[in-house]
Structure 1
Amino acid sequence: MAIYDTIPEPLKSKPPNQPQADKVLYHKLQNLSSYPECLTEARARLLELLNRTVHKTLTAQNNSNTILSISEYSPEALHTFLNNAANATVQKFEQYTARRKEGGSREILPTFEYAKYWIRLAAPVKYVDGSWLGGIHRLATTHDDHRTASRTAWQILSEELGDGDIRKNHVAVYEELIDTTGNSSIGLGHESRFISNIHNPNQDPHVWTAGVSQLLISLFPEEMFPEMLGFNMAYESLPCHILITIQELKELNIDPYYFILHVSIDNNHCGHAAMGAAAVTTYIDSLKTGQEKEVAWKRVQAGYMMAEGLTTTPTLITDLDRKVEKIFRDKCKTAEPMHTFCSGNIGGANGLGKSLSRWLDPEKFDDWSLVFVKTIADSRWVDKGNPSGSKLVKELKWGGRMFGAYTSVEVRTIEKWIAGMKVKDSFPESKGAYKTFTGNDILSISLLPSATKPPSQRLNTQLRLNIKSFHDLLDPPLPANITGLSSSVLGTLLMLSATPFEYFPSYPSNVSTSEGMAALRTLRALYGFLPEDGLCAGMDEVIRLPDDVIGVVELGRRLGGKKPLEIRSGTMLERLCDYVTKLSRFPVEELSKLLGCQIGFVSCVLTRESGLWDGAKGKQPTPIESKAMEDIGARIMGAWHELLMASAEKASRIKWEEVVEGWDVVVSSISGIVQTLNEGVVRKQTEGCNRQLRQTDGRVDLMKRACAVHFTDEIRGLYSSEDEIMGVYTSTDEIRGV
């Protein structure tokens, strides 16, 4: 090795490659509200990965141990397959244990320093734990017939996210492991520094592709529901590498609890593996025809193959890695005095990297030798797959500053090592594999336009002027006369109350906060899950009878409620639905307003004290359902109480003024809806024209003339047109009867 003062990096940066593209997409998908345009790229990448993994499995020499071995679906065949897969994992681990007992060395984490490095490399996958289910069970994108299956899958998601307890949140547990191993400078999963080659120099293609695949599969929950369930079923099956990682971390005195957690909670008796299979069988068994079931099973298989076909752990140490490690080790002592004044840094900033002289310290090199080999491979000194274009090789040859310091065999070994790093970016042979196998065309998925900014508030709202304290939010000033409201409208409002925080689980890194945990506990209450008791419900939630599950969506449906897209366009109810559902797509940016919306629904709809239910016509909640609604409201307010108190004192991320604004939109809208549906006003309009309406064909014109007399300016101001007024009024029971 030659003496030089600095380590110059190559002048030209590397051209874009797929691993780098996946890193960028990973960041965009965790900040989707800021990058809505990436949905086109995301859909294309999802199709690429489905094609690649389906083709890989279909063309494998032996399919007898893959999901393809179940050519015709049945619950029994699936159960047998999953049991066989679990037994195979046990056998592999027993073989590993036997190798170790015979004197074999650790196979994944050879040294303490390498284990810390490996933990950092694995972070892109661990920081999106559960994200493959992030889009499931939303109101607008979940078919009514599939809500039982999606509810089971959402319970898995809830447990991945800690059931609202930050200590149990899987991402938070891994963040703690990152901190305790000295890797905290890489940042959190949603932060830009996490994908920075300076702050987090991680070029491992496996982890970025696996991480981005988990984010991709959940983007289109309505169109890709079977694939999501299949992906989840594969991902929740216990792999052997987790068992090995636990053993080797223990030997290195590094806390393995994150990995132990995934062995215990993913068990195939009552844990996530069992629940994942239950979600699949519930879904397929709910389909009506044999053809529907056959198509659905193919798509479940495709999702399963995608999860199984992508390696989720950092690239294993190869024989060539070890040969190159030995070459560098042999040079350490000789090179020791030659790099004293080398100020350049290899391996990133903030303590992750080191100067060359420190890396090659003979007394410490054995500790981090493999880390050095991997780190220099990820540096700009190596152009992966291209030895002749690599700065390292150029320096070892004639004209380079290390010419003669390495033998020809050593140089050839390094060249072979670099050539073997080439990452295959494209798989043209797999094009069309997914569509051919499933018959589904992912390119037909319509990319719903995502707003680049939250919706503006378009309703006349002034109630916030009277809000002075938290307790004022629980006493909404609704009209005293509530005799024209129908239970179907209240059912719709009940269903809408499930939406404010429904996008939060799609951002696992952002959920691992106190606000995220409160949002998750809110969703659990709204979806009808049992109160948190510090334990894991697991299959207990799956086997609950449907009648025992009282969630706001199911209850709203029973009362005649509608989903937002089913509401008559142009009405105040439709405008409220549009505002809340669009705002919900910005769960981080608009957290405070969304919380205000949620409290508005609690104070108006989830309690009988508001008076709305007492005056409503039509089907009424049963006493049990009414009690359930009260409990849901209490659980929601309990989840946020401390954070709201802190926000009033400006001691939390929640902005009090925005909470009041969101509350005002909901309460003012509901108040306006009540006013326009008021039975007393309707009666005045109908009493004078009922007889004439029966005798004339001009019903609508006559009713408009009658309405024009009786509507006050205040009520008229809540609507954009006379047609909108008629849209609301013709929905009342009395006028519908006329």
Structure 2
Amino acid sequence: MSVVVKQRLLELLQEQNKNFYELFNFFLDGNISCHLKQNKATELLRYELEHIGQSESSLPNEIEEFKRWYLNENTKVCLEYQDYLKKRQEGAQRQYFVNIAQAFEFLIKVAPTKKVDGAWLYSVIKYWHDIEFHELILIYLEELGGGYEKSNHVCIYNNLLHSLGLEDFEYYLDDAYYHNAVVQLALAYAPPEFIPEIIGFNLGYEQLPLHLLISNYELKELGIDAKYFNLHITIDNLANGHAHKSLKVLEQVYKGFKNKDDFLNRVKQGYALNNLGISSTQIIKNLNTEHFVLQIFKKKAQMGQFIHNDQKVIACKTVNQWLGKPEQIADFIQTLINKKWIKLNAEPEESPFWKMIHYPDGKMYGVFTPAERRIIHDWIAGEVSTEALPTNLFKSADLNFHNADLSYLNVAEFDILKQQIAETSHSGLTLNTLIPFLAPHVHHSNIGLWSTQKYAAILFPYLDNTFK
């Protein structure tokens, strides 16, 4: 990391205003100490909790009511999903994703939170000596797949994005899409005083939402590997999954708190933190392929403005002149539509522009990635484009494409850690040595996966072979 970039990230410690994308990278930077991250986490969480309203929480007021409340919420979601399935079986169209482009947009926009899945529980794993927290620790280890890349949630999602060619689309996202992910990362480095808020946040995050069920159904219908979403449906269950464990921890920790009213109020505030940022439901409601295409064109224009010749004039301007100013791109696209270079709501083959970017002999072939072309294809076709992807084209392989940043340079560190663990006979010391390698920025790397396996084997030996 350059000195300039590091200095900018450290300046965030002193800033009241928040750039969530920079904070996202701040917490995921392995070169920044846990001490600095904890300071920033404390400051950020205090600010968020001070400004979040209690009214935003729907949690009950009595600890005895939580299980019934959770069950009622779960039943309500399941009934709504059954109603959805009935409508689909009767011939109704998909509710969320009209086409592949909309599914891609959704996967891109939820990516910041998926890349830190489970992070809010990282701070809890240092309490391994306290059995009251074992259920939360177990949830975190399951989020990490027990140290196996095929089961590690971040690995699964990174692999999905890579297999679809969507891994570089973070540059298209507005800052607000990183807000909730930053909250999760702040909880990851929160000091002990925030335990009630962590429990409350976890309680909300492990609920089964309707959007997860429908997204899983429609993504599979479109030929997209929905393993990540299906996995969360199965493990976040109320019978014996994460939801069950979340309630169990709530009840256990509640008993030990002297001021029980204060504890529940803080649990409610932690629960309400789930509402910060742009939710999956909001993303789905606001899917806008036309706007997404505009962003793709604007990004391409940054380079394209310099390489076109000035012989081609469209509406009194050369292509370079059109591309030279970002604010003109929308008008340029509309001009291409007016001139019939792009024919909306028709087969893309009828649009000369599509032929230029799609076929190897096209003058603009290679300018747009396969994923970008698919988004443009569906935008041109409109509701005409509803077909699924070939099942073998975008299948997410069990390969850890994002194993680590330049992991081959970390071989020495890995060897040192292995030697330290081999020479340590005290289980507690071993666990403490492994904890830094289970952090959100590193748990999905080679050294992190190995460390997770060792940590899980010591604390929960009965889990052996569970994740393999």
TM range (shorter): 0.5 to 0.7
1:135–1:503: 8 Å Cα contact kept in structure 2?
no
2:62 to 64, 72, 75: 72
Tell me the equivalent position of 1:31: 29
* AA in 2 matched with 1:94: Q
Instruction: Select the structure with the greater relative contact order (CA < 8 A; seq sep ≥ 6).
Output: 2
Q: Check 1:241–1:320 CA distance in 2 against 1; reply closer, same or farther (3 A cut).
A: closer
What is the deviation of 1:26?
Answer: 0.5
Superposed displacement of residue 40, structure 1:
4.6
Cα 1:124/1:30, change in 2 over 3 Å = same
Give the aligned partner of residue 266 of structure 2.
Answer: 299
Partner of 2:8: none
- Structure 2 partner of 1:50: 49
User: Per the alignment, in what secondary structure is the counterpart of residue 93 of structure 1?
Assistant: helix
Structure 2 matches for 1:240-279, cutoff 5 A? 240-279=210-249
Query: 1:335 and 1:257 mapped to 2: Cα distance?
Result: 41
Q: For 2:124, what is the secondary structure of its paired residue?
A: coil
* Structure 2 match to 1:334: 339
8 Å Cα contact 2:20-2:176 kept in structure 1: no
Matches within 5 A, 1:15-164: 21-31=19-29, 33-34=31-32, 37=36, 39-52=38-51, 54-55=52-53, 57-58=54-55, 66-67=58-59, 70-74=60-64, 77-101=65-89, 103-138=91-126, 147-164=130-147
State whether residues 177 and 255 of structure 1, in contact with CA within 8 Å, keep that contact through their aligned partners in structure 2. Answer: yes
Segment drifting more, 256-265 vs 89-98: 89-98
Decide whether aligned partners of structure 1 residues 320 and 472 sit closer, same or farther in structure 2, where only a CA change above 3 A counts.
Answer: closer
CA contact (8 A) 2:102 2:287 kept: no
- 1:229 is aligned with what amino acid? I
C-alpha displacement of 1:330: 11
Q: What does residue 316 of structure 1 align with?
A: 284
| Corresponding letter in the other structure for 1:49 | E
Q: CA deviation at 1:83?
A: 0.4
Q: Is the 8 A contact 1:161 1:168 kept in 2?
A: yes
Q: 2:155 aligns with which of 172, 184, 200?
A: 172
Evaluate the alpha carbon distance shift between residue 274 and residue 353 of structure 1 in structure 2; reply closer, same or farther with a 3 A threshold. same
Instruction: Tell me by how many angstroms 1:84 deviates.
Output: 0.8
CA distance in 2, matches of 1:80, 1:282: 17
Which residue identity is paired with 1:495?
G
State the alpha-carbon separation in 2 of the partners of residues 319 and 26 from structure 1. 23
For the structure 1 residues 369 and 26, does the alpha-carbon distance in structure 2 shift closer, same or farther, using more than 3 Å as the test? farther
TM-score norm. by structure 2 comes to 0.67
Shift of 1:369: 11
Alignment of 1:494-533 (within 5 A): 495-507=428-440, 509-533=441-465
1:181 partner amino acid: L
In the aligned structure 1, how far is the partner of 2:268 from the partner of 2:454?
A: 33
1:231 maps to which residue? Answer: 201
CA offsets 1:539-589 (integer angstroms, 9 cap, x no match): xxxxxxxxxxxxxxxxxxxxxxxxxxxxxxxxxxxxxxxxxxxxxxxxxxx
2 CA distance for matches of 1:473 and 1:305? Answer: 40
- Counterpart of 1:296, as a letter, is F
| TM-superposed deviation, 1:180 | 1.9
Provide the rounded CA distance (Å) in 2 between the counterparts of 1:304 and 1:127.
Answer: 20
Distance 1:531 1:228, change over 3 A: same
Give 1:205 deviation, angstroms: 5.1
Q: Label 1:531 to 1:82 Cα distance change in 2 as closer, same or farther (>3 A).
A: closer
**Is the partner of 1:315 in helix, strand or coil?**
helix
1:515, 1:279 → 2: CA distance? 29
Counterparts of 2:30 and 2:419 in 1: how far apart (Å)?
Answer: 35
Q: Distance in 2 between matches of 1:210 and 1:475?
A: 40
CA contact (8 A) 1:25 1:42 kept: no
1:531 Cα deviation (Å)?
Answer: 4.3
Structural mapping, 1:517-596, within 5 Å: 517-534=449-466
Letter of the 1:366 counterpart:
A
**Structure 2 CA distance for partners of 1:529 and 1:151, relative to 1, 3 Å:** farther
Q: CA deviation at 1:99?
A: 4.4
CA-CA distance at 1:258 after TM superposition: 0.9
Pairwise CA distance, 1:119: 1.5
What letter corresponds to residue 62 of structure 2 in structure 1? E
Deviation per residue, 1:77-131 (Å, 9 max, x gap): 1110100110121132234334445554323222113212322222111111110
Deviation at 1:202, TM superposition (A): 3.0
Q: What secondary structure is seen at the aligned counterpart in 1 of 2:44?
A: helix
Taking the aligned partners of 1:279 and 1:349, their CA distance within structure 2 comes to 49
The amino acid across from 1:332 in the alignment is I
The question of whether the paired residues in 1 share the 8 Å contact of 2:100 and 2:375 is answered with no
What is the CA RMSD across the aligned residues, in angstroms? 4.2
1:617 corresponds to: none
5 Å matches for 1:387-402?
none
Q: Secondary structure of 1:168's partner?
A: coil
Asked if structure 1 preserves the Cα contact closer than 8 Å seen for 2:197 and 2:270, the reply is yes
The alpha-carbon deviation at position 367 of structure 1 amounts to 5.9
Kindly provide the amino acid, as one letter, of the partner of residue 504 in structure 1. F
CA shift digits 1:176-221 (9 cap, x unpaired): 211221223x2xxxxxxxxxxxx63232455311211111112114
Code of the residue aligned with 2:161 in structure 1: it is I
Shift of 1:335: 4.1
Classify the secondary structure of the residue corresponding to 1:167: coil
Q: Which runs of 5+ in 1 are unaligned?
A: 1-15, 187-198, 371-469, 477-489, 537-738
**TM-aligned CA distance change 1:350 to 1:500, over 3 Å:** farther
Secondary structure of 1:34's counterpart equals coil
Q: Which whole-Å CA distance do the structure 1 matches of 2:454 and 2:287 have between them?
A: 51
**Structure-to-structure mapping, 1:253-652, within 5 angstroms:** 253-287=223-257, 289=258, 292-308=259-275, 310-313=277-280, 315-318=283-286, 332=337, 334-336=339-341, 365-366=380-381, 495-507=428-440, 509-534=441-466
User: What does residue 322 of structure 2 align with?
Assistant: none
Greater fraction helix: 2
Change (3 A) 1:23 1:530: same
Secondary structure in 2 matching 1:107: coil
CA distance change for structure 1 residues 18 and 162 in 2, over 3 Å: closer, same or farther? Answer: farther
The Cα of 1:332 is off from its aligned counterpart by 2.7
Structure 1 residues 281, 175: CA separation in 2 closer, same or farther (over 3 Å shift)? same
Give the TM-score of the pair, scaled to structure 1.
0.44
Distance 2:284 2:420 in 1: 59
Q: Which amino acid aligns with 1:72?
A: E
| Matched residue, 2:406 | none
Q: Tell me, in whole angstroms, the C-alpha distance in 1 between the residues paired with 2:288 and 2:154.
A: 34
- The equivalent of 1:464 in structure 2 is none
Q: 1:26 to 1:471 in 2, by over 3 A?
A: closer
Superposed CA deviations along residues 162-184 of structure 1, whole A, max 9, x for unmatched, are 11222111111112211221223
Deviation at 1:20, TM superposition (A): 8.0
Displacement of 1:311 in angstroms is 4.2
